[in-house]
């Protein structure tokens, strides 16, 4: 434990966590920017860093971006991120009542509560899950990856079909390059040698998330934000009586958020909404929700921040990303020459525990930063988009070229900008596409290994293993969810 503390509690790592929290907060509070964009932009920077410092920077951004969304959600009724949608329900009415600082301090405290709660769960669940997963063979990994892809699409009520279409498109892009296992067939390269290794994950993420969002926001680029008056304080914190009164609601929201975070693709937006509705349903005064009720902010902010630790559980324990940001983090870990999953805890136990410790520190830094800079963060949302977005676009371009020092990467970046823009404009969810990109290689590689080992796909299906159960669940899940939706209607 002393070694872990020493590796993180130094000037370099603490500075990187603080920088990450600041960058994440800024990207989170500005509508049109978000956590995945921020993490994608710093990926080229992590090339020059050691493993632990790079994790400090990325985890700081991850924790900070989720919390940053509450600033614009409370002050302007514009959620900075999808995770802060439910925060607008009671946060903005509190602002209209002249209680903006109360709402912001409640949101910051509930965020750190949910984040630390999920970090404790991560610390408790990830090691035993890793011990279990170390027994997995290729068929079990195939079943786990397919179930994750099925879950992320099945949970999208109203967009289920579009989710599956986006997922299949993502899987199609993973087939570009040399065939796995044997490495003898060059597929869909169209004579371009730059495609023999497939598409780079960082280029895809920047093309899908960052640049299409900038293009999409051009219509509102000259809109002026009305300045909000915020009470000036040195440190913003909710009253102790308010915390005691809403402690049970925060605990409930943190538990729901952690569970939802573990489920691939659900995300902070779903966690916040579900927790908000649950708190409203169990409240003796449900009519107060939506009118500036403190419990509404406690419930959704504790839940959406708890998804961070929850999403890291399957990533660290099984090598399966819990959300879009953890999918990018998996890429960052892979760039360091490591394999996220059960082997990480077995071969690098100190690093495994260090990452969990970094999550704790990042949550504490996130709260201290948020609680002391609320009045300044409120000014960031007033930065004109016509100044901000060109800077982001330039960073995106430089980041893509610096990955492999190749102009060819910039050329196929344009392909993914078009793909991302078309998907977004036609209301296709992007998370199934990105998760399919990340898991596509795992699916194909382990399927082929299973067929080689067992003789055929049908013989693999006959194996009495958890892989068979997971694959069967993946097939049944969409039909079960469709039936439940029909019954609910």
* Predicted pLDDT at 269: 64
Please name every residue paired with 187 in a beta bridge, in sequence order, or none if there are none. 177
Q: What is the pLDDT of residue 224?
A: 63
Comparing 406 with 298, which gets the higher pLDDT?
A: 298
Please tell me the least confidently modeled range out of 15-19, 224-228, 348-352, 410-414: 224-228
H helices of 77-210, in order, are: 87-96, 100-133, 138-154, 160-174, 201-205
pLDDT at residue 183 tops 80: no
* pLDDT tens column, 325-352: 777 777 777 777 777 777 777 777 788 8
Query: In angstroms, rounded to a whole number, what is the distance separating the alpha carbons of residues 478 and 50?
Result: 42
Distance CA 461, CA 258 (A): 32
Burial of 203 (0-12, 13-18, 19+ CB in 10 A): buried
User: Tell me, what DSSP letter sits at residue 19?
Assistant: H
Nearest to 117 by CA among 9, 271, 291: 271
Which of 41-55, 259-273, 361-375 shows the lowest mean pLDDT across its residues? 259-273
Task: State residue 165's pLDDT score.
Answer: 92
| Angle of helix 349-372 versus helix 294-318 axis, rounded to 10 | 160
What is the model's pLDDT at position 403?
A: 63
Highest mean pLDDT, choosing among 31-45, 352-366, 423-437: 352-366
**Residues pairing with 178 in the sheet:** 186
Domain ranges of the chain: 2-488
pLDDT recorded at residue 29: 75
Q: How far is the C-alpha of 107 from the C-alpha of 109, rounded, in Å?
A: 6
Which residue in 307, 293, 310 sits closest to 246, CA to CA? 293
Mean local confidence (pLDDT), 122-137: 74
In this prediction, residue 87 has a pLDDT band, given cuts at 50, 70 and 90, of: confident
Q: Strand pairing partners for 186?
A: 178
Residue 265: pLDDT over 60: no
Does the pLDDT of residue 185 top 60, yes or no? yes
Angle (nearest 5°) at CA 62 between 414 and 294: 120
For CA atoms 250, 254, 255, 256, the dihedral sign is positive
Structure tokens at 197: 């290794």
Contact 154, 167 (CB under 8 A): no
207: which DSSP letter? Answer: I
Asked if pLDDT for residue 229 goes beyond 70, the answer is no
Contact 265, 152 (CB under 8 A): yes
What is the C-alpha separation between 42 and 45, in angstroms, rounded? Answer: 5
Torsion of CA 58, 64, 69, 71, to 10 degrees: -150
CA 453 to chain centre: 35
The Cα–Cα gap between 382 and 388 comes to 11
Q: Are the C-beta atoms of 199 and 176 separated by less than 8 Å?
A: yes
Say what the pLDDT of residue 380 is: 61
pLDDT at 169: 92
Share of the chain above pLDDT 90, in %: 3
Maximum mean pLDDT: which of 114-123, 256-265, 311-320, 342-351 = 114-123
Helix and strand totals (H; E) in the chain: 23, 2
User: Contact, 261 vs 311, CB < 8 A?
Assistant: yes
With a pLDDT cut of 70, the percent of the chain lying above it is: 86
Average pLDDT on 225-249 reads: 77
Please report the DSSP string for 54-71 in residue order: HHHHHHHHHHHHHHHHHH
pLDDT at 72: 74
Higher pLDDT, 394 or 76: 394
Quick one: pLDDT at residue 442? 79
Which residue reads 């990480």 in tokens? 344
* pLDDT tens digits along 139-155: 887 887 888 788 778 76
**Average pLDDT, whole number, for the chain?**
80
């Amino acid at each position: 434990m002393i070694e872990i503390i020493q590796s993180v509690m130094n000037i370099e790592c603490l500075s990187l966590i603080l920088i990450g929290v600041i960058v994440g907060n800024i990207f989170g509070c500005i509508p049109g920017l978000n956590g995945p964009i921020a993490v994608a932009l710093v990926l080229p920077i992590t090339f020059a860093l050691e493993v632990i410092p790079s994790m400090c920077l990325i985890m700081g951004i991850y924790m900070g971006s989720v919390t940053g969304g509450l600033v614009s959600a409370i002050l302007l009724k514009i959620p900075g991120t999808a995770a802060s949608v439910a925060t607008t329900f009671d946060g903005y009415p509190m602002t209209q009542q002249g209680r903006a600082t109360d709402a912001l301090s409640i949101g910051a405290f509930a965020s750190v509560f949910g984040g630390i709660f999920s970090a404790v769960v991560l610390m408790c669940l990830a090691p035993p899950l890793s011990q279990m997963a170390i027994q997995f063979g290729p068929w079990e990994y195939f079943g786990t990856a397919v179930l994750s892809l099925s879950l992320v699409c099945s949970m999208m009520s109203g967009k289920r079909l579009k989710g599956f279409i986006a997922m299949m498109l993502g899987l199609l892009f993973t087939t570009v390059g040399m065939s796995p296992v044997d490495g003898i067939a060059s597929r869909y390269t169209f004579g371009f040698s730059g495609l023999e290794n497939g598409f780079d994950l960082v280029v895809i993420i920047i093309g899908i998330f960052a640049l299409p969002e900038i293009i999409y926001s051009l219509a509102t680029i000259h809109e002026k934000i009305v300045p909000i008056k915020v009470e000036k304080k040195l440190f913003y914190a909710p009253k102790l009586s308010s915390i005691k009164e809403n402690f049970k609601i925060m605990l409930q929201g943190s538990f729901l958020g952690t569970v939802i975070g573990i489920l691939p693709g659900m995300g902070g937006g779903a966690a916040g909404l579900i927790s908000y509705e649950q708190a409203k349903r169990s409240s003796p005064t449900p009519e107060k929700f939506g009118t500036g009720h403190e419990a509404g902010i406690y419930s959704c902010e504790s839940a959406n921040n708890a998804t961070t630790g929850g999403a890291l559980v399957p990533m660290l324990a099984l090598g399966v990303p819990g959300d879009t940001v953890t999918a990018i983090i998996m890429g960052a870990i892979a760039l360091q020459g490591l394999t996220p999953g059960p082997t990480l805890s077995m071969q690098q136990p100190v690093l495994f525990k260090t990452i969990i410790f970094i999550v704790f520190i990042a949550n504490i830094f996130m709260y201290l930063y948020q609680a002391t800079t609320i009045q300044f963060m409120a000014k960031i949302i007033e930065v004109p988009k016509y100044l901000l977005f060109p800077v982001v676009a330039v960073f995106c371009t430089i980041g893509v070229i610096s990955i492999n020092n190749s102009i060819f990467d910039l050329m196929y970046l344009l392909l993914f900008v078009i793909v991302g823009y078309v998907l977004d404009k036609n209301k296709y969810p992007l998370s199934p596409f990105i998760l399919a990109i990340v898991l596509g290689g795992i699916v194909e590689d382990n399927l082929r290994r299973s067929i080689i080992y067992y003789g055929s796909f049908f013989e693999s299906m006959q194996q009495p293993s958890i892989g068979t159960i997971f694959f069967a669940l993946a097939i049944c899940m969409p039909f079960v969810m469709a039936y439940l939706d029909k019954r609910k209607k």
